Amino acid sequence: MDIGFFGAAKGVTGSCFLVAVGESRVLVDCGFFQGQGYCSDKNYQEFGFNPETIDAVVITHTHQDHIGRLPLLFNRKGKPTIYSTKPTRDLSQLILDDGYNIMVEESEKCGRDPLYRERDVEAVFSSWKGVSYRDPVEVAPGVTVTWHDAGHVLGSSFVVVEGDGKKVAFSGDIGSEGVPILHDTEALPQDLDMFMCESTYGDRLHDPPTDRLNKLRDAVIENHKKRGVLMIPAFSIERMQEVLFEMNIIVDSEGIDPGQVYLDSPLAISATRVYASYQEELELDIPQGFVDNDFFHFKGLHVTETVGESKGINNASQPKVILAGAGMMNAGRITHHLVRYLDDPNNTLLVIGYQAVGTLGRKIVEGQSPVKIFDYSVDVKAKIVRIDSYSGHADYDKLTRWVKDSTVKRIQLIHGDEEAMIAFQKHLLHQGVEEVSIPSEGDWITV
């Protein structure tokens, strides 16, 4: 078995790994390189392999940096069969449809041809098959893949690829601990020949997950007392559903009044419906004695799908809570609310996700004021509160325990900035793992 690295090598995004067994060619993920927009040169470069030779694509989960270049694969004459869990397939349709519209807008602004066409998105889903956890599937001659729950988002997986008598696992993204709506990450198999391990937080520890509900409750109560506006920007898939679930507990189980609450993100609204349709795949941490038929809805929640409904939030009385995308505040409806409410010291901005360098969210949490939003210069006078325990990725402590519970001796670090990878490499070697390597993009290894 030979494995090539064509993304997420010495970098976090662009997940794409090529597994070659005999004449079979199978990709694990095919994601966008994020951080510089759809028009970045990186996304326009050739894949580094011939798309026409790819027999199958195995998807770990639904995020853009794992699925975003699937339509480009078909645009470049590839015709693979795509495999993932059923929830991943359904969420990916939302992500790729939304991503196509954004990509077209961005390509017009930067004067480049779109990366792919709408028919390429349609071709992706015509070729996509849903699978179940723990059921081995022969995705190409001599290549069998099994999906295991990664606990990162609904339907997320780490995958075990078998061929040529070898067994290799690819982590995808591994979830943090104590996520209130997902199952814990499954154990790694004991007989792996090699493990491709994410290292996004290979140099960091998260706050205890028990802190998050308490801090969210405190923010809601304080905002109500001040009769202010509590803004919570969140990623539309997983993070938003976690907040909705915990708001449900605060409001319907504990009886706390937040004022009016608005879910103001069309993508999050659609994704929440997918989550609700797969409740058998979830593990909801429900308070004892609390009975509820809809864990993502609660008293006082308004769903604002249209632009007109979103604008109507401005006329609502205070206190009020606004849940809106995007998580890093660099796009989406949250930007309009920031323009209106960020300059008022009675209001609060609750930051619950990672803020990448250069994003509006990063500038705000680092204390910059004023900030430019659209053509406005906005003073940052609202109270800024951070909850770091909402992270969707495992920290180095969880990853270390997870790896050490297996018998794997050879590890390749992927999905991380090089600085985090080097720190995690030293840590794993100190913990007794025999071989920990950091591949570069374009590298090939033989297992």
Residue-wise pLDDT tens digits, 324-375: 988 889 888 999 999 999 999 999 999 998 787 788 999 999 999 999 999 9
Specify the CATH number for the domain of residue 84.
3.60.15.10
Which tens digits make up the pLDDT trace of 373-396? 999 999 999 999 999 888 889 999
Whether 177 shows a pLDDT value over 80: the answer reads yes
Whether residue 243 is found in the same domain as residue 117:
no
Q: Residue 106: its pLDDT value, please?
A: 87
State yes or no: pLDDT of 223 exceeds 80: yes
Query: Does residue 306 share a domain with residue 230?
Result: yes
Distance CA 21, CA 30 (A): 19
The whole-model pTM stands at 0.93
Please give the pLDDT value at position 69.
96
**d(C-alpha 349, C-alpha 401), whole Å:** 34
Task: Specify whether 232 is located in the same domain as 140.
Answer: no
The answer to whether residues 105 and 238 belong to one domain is no
Indicate the residue among 351, 366, 390 that finishes a domain: 390
Query: Which helix (H) or strand (E) segment is 233 a member of?
Result: strand 229-233
Closest CA to 194 of 339, 415, 347, 1: 1
Do 383 and 397 fall into the same domain?
Answer: no
pLDDT class of 306 with cuts at 50, 70, 90: very high
Q: Tell me which amino acid residue 274 is.
A: V
In the chain, the number of structural domains is 2
In the predicted structure, residue 301 carries a pLDDT above the cut 90 = yes
Confidence of residue 40 (pLDDT cuts 50, 70, 90): confident
Among candidate residues 374, 390, 406, the one where a domain is terminated: 390
Indicate the DSSP class of residue 390. Answer: G
What is the Cα–Cα distance from 384 to 364, expressed in whole angstroms? 8
Same domain, 221 and 128: no
Residues 396 and 383 in one domain: no
Q: How confident is the model at residue 207 (pLDDT cuts 50, 70, 90)?
A: confident
Looking at 367, 390, 413, which one is the last position of a domain?
390
Whether residue 409 sits in one domain with residue 329: no
> What is residue 390's predicted lDDT score, i.e. its pLDDT?
87
- Name the strand (E) or helix (H) holding 383: strand 383-386
Band the pLDDT of 96: cuts 50, 70, 90.
very high
Q: 238 in the Ramachandran plot: left (φ > 0), alpha (ψ -120 to 50) or beta?
A: left
Q: Tell me the average pLDDT across 31-36.
A: 84
Residue 139 shares a structural domain with residue 164: yes
Are 386 and 397 within one domain?
A: no
Residue 414's closest CA among 13, 3, 2? Answer: 13
What proportion of the chain, given as a percentage, has pLDDT over 70? 100
Position 293 pLDDT exceeds 80: no
d(C-alpha 405, C-alpha 422), whole Å: 22
What is the pLDDT confidence band of residue 131, given thresholds at 50, 70 and 90?
A: very high
Name residue, tokens 């590890």: 411
Same domain, 293 and 145: no
Reply yes or no on whether the pLDDT at 209 is more than 80.
no
3-class SS of residue 44? helix
CATH number of the domain to which 234 belongs: 3.40.50.10890
**What's the pLDDT score for residue 215?**
94
- What is the predicted pLDDT for the residue at 323? 98
Both tokens of 10, joined, read 């010495």
- Count how many Cα atoms sit within 13 Å of the Cα of residue 415 in the half-sphere of its side chain: 27
Q: Which of 270, 226, 202 is nearest to 426 (CA)?
A: 202
Question: The domain containing residue 263 runs over which residues?
Answer: 210-390
Give the pLDDT score at 278.
95
Residue 87 phi, psi (nearest 5): -60, -35
Q: Are 401 and 384 within one domain?
A: no
